[in-house]
Structure 1
């Protein structure tokens, strides 16, 4: 019994456990069922059949246009994704500010809000730049639809213009002012900020040339106290890239073929009100030309003739421009000899041991390609022939890429065009090319106001009006009015650079002038007419043929007595000179083999007597040699100038016809302060001389001052003579210095490069002179244009 009760007790204890288990299982299944029921069901792909449209909110855009832009056709079944695509197409059209698409049964309701129309555009906050300049740069226009994207792009463009002016902190915010009829006024609010100057320009890695010398090459300048007038020290990012190229060209032209600019770093100063520009460069070694040879791969072409056409010699500093010049010389020789499609290929061999570069010019045949035509576009004023004459190539000639590049450079050098692109492209056949010339004209007229000062004439102003592309013909016409305390001149100048379609320059000058000098006991009046023809006879030489007609008169000054010579010359009254002259000029200072040295030589002869009252022969000559030494910091210059006049008339010559020296030829003396003089009648009149010569030795150099001041020092030594008064009416005169004597002058100078123009202060002392000479210890020359 006991056991059964125990067992019964055991069975009775399991009933609650099973009940709890069943309850737990029941709860779990209920929870799982509810959870599954609460999960989102898979979305059924919803579609709409569109049979009709309703468009709301449109005022300018036609309903049919909006429906067409949605891309949905009546009767089409579309999904939600296709509706979204239609929404995006309408929004991307750029004419709607908001778009809403709502299907209502079989009708698609399109609700739009159009962008407003621009009523007017204005600029606010600009002081440095004019409205016209900024408005021409924006794409938004009145009576067009306003879009925020275009307005933001216009604001960025205006900010770029300010950045190009060095105003890095300039900000531009486009704002709109709502008007009636869905119109807006678009306003660009500008905060110009201040220009950021370049406080310091320095170099790292340069050894051959100092920072001072390299800074003179760059377009970017250091800040200076004259920055109100000189903006070269304003930071402009694009200018840095240009500076990297010009500094590279500077070194390459001086034989540093491995030169490179490693970096050009621009950093803010600590005060963040200026920039430091640091250029890191690697100069490499300086190379010279080694062996210069020419070989021909064209049958029948003699390489020796082309070798003789070269000007460069071994030992000359290597320069890519000299190689290009040599190639051009040989190609021109090929044209003269009738060798078509001649190509000259330079092959350079490096000799690292002796730092030379051997250059072998290889004459080869290029591809047989002809110039089909030259197309010129963009010139509205300039005549086609003005552009075409810059080409040595015409239609039908063999195509020479080098000549086309040189023609492009000549077109740009005219100064008539803001943009001049010259590009060849394939013509109607593979063996022909068409040369496209695309230009954009710019204003070529100018009005200039200048100021000057000299010891001889005092202070003066000059007003000039000129047009360098007169009537689009490439001619220059100018009118100049120059007045000073002691002189006046009114002149008209005309230049035709291609007379009769040839490379023959014609210059014409005519005008009238008068002087009332305090350094002479007489006044002068003259009318002149001077035509001249010039043409090149060599790469560095030219010939000038001129005619000069002049009517001149010496007049007595008020209340001034005269010596016997001047009195007799005044009594001659008006006299006319008609002369024919010729000059030969050779100048290698810019186009020679050495970029640091060059010479100028000029000799001329004028013969008067082709009608008129005066008859004489007058010869003149001058030579100038210049070089740079000590890393091109110091300039050395030597010059010799001379002249002689032989009078052949029956009467007497005048002081106006003879040579009279002023400070521009011989420093240290007043105008007409040395040479023969007439002391009769208690006067001291300079009467000039028939012969003169003057030698000048000078140098200018840095003073060690900050370069931004623009100050340099100089020393000079002048010596020379003015003598001979044959054919002068000396009756009753008391002449001194007729035989002349050599004068010597030593001096120092301060040269100041200012934004207004160069100033030169000369301080001199005559080491040897005559008692009757008029010494001048200080001379200031100013020539400014503003």
Structure 2
């Protein structure tokens, strides 16, 4: 096993530790007797990533700005968790190795600033990064205007071999395809070939777009509000959705249609989803599952002012005006009551 493979094996084993770290609290806010406050957190030797990026990858956190600079006793205070400090070193190593630095080393230094306060410094030697010698995207040969789906990806040949950016490239291509008529689009990433001696990597993104798909019918299931009868017809729902049969399937169109129904305030729940597809389906049926809301709402407010004395304001809203899911608001105000 070469040096690069060993480095990424360690990164893979420690990855779960890195992910869990972001869900953990930093230090105990209570700071038990004998604990020392983290007054400063610093990094040295980092050139590829900013201090802020590295600080987000570790658990150790300095006290709040107001406490560190203004010495406000009520401001947020964080104390040093010595059990987490070695884990923070591992988190930084994993962070760097996943982003193309297999030879990174990290040392931890705790400097006393006073009897009850310390500075935590991570000294980093990044080492030489792995460079992408070639990035190949296959599977788009039968897709029209294939260049559109691979333009401006966050990873290109000649860039650092960053696994986070490779995943972002996968997500970008998948999202673009699903917004261009390919709801079944998937990407596979075979294991990259890495030449550890030359610090070069060759990676491939294998695209499986599936068939070009258009919208078919829309099956609407609507539940009326409480014990009432249904108020909004299928015809009005289809008009609001704006998803005409025959148009290309686009995920963004479904999200926009869902948003339009919510904006009427006539529905308390809206779900849009495609029917299950086989690998050969080119027509998709959409399902709209709706739960209607109360179609009328009334609000009453009262107040007192030096000029108006007592005043009362009333509002009445109807969310299905003329049975078209349109909103009508009526407002009335009475003031100078008691004069």
TM-score by length of 2: 0.39
More helix by share: 2
More strand by share: 1
TM-score by length of 1: 0.19
Which structure: larger Rg? 1
